[in-house]
Amino acid sequence: IADPEKCDRMYESLARINSGYYKNKYPRLRNTSFTGVTVEECRMVLATDNMKQMEEMKKGMWKKIREKFTGKPEDATKEYV
């Protein structure tokens, strides 16, 4: 290590971040982001199951019906369009 003092300062800084020093020193008034969405709401939206459900909701009724009868999403619809 070229500069042991600088290394020690960096280590102490990382240790403070890891221990939650700044989280406790500067507590948040509310546990939300700039959008106002809570952590739990973000997790729920980002969950893969919910993403699949949202994709299903985006599909039109005719696409859903075609997929049901052809068994192939998108591939079969391109041939007939």
pLDDT in tens, 58-71: 777 677 777 777 77
State whether 9 and 25 are in the same domain: yes
Residue 63, in any domain of the structure: yes
Residue 80, in any domain of the structure: no
Low-confidence spans in the chain with pLDDT less than 50: 76-77, 81
If you average pLDDT over every residue of the chain, what do you get?
77
Cα dihedral 40/46/50/55 (nearest 10): 150
State whether 44 and 60 are in the same domain: yes
Give the pLDDT of residue 76: 47
State whether 43 and 62 are in the same domain: yes
Give the pLDDT of residue 1: 72
Q: How many structural domains compose the chain?
A: 2
Give the pLDDT of residue 80: 52
**Residue 44 lies in domain:** 37-68
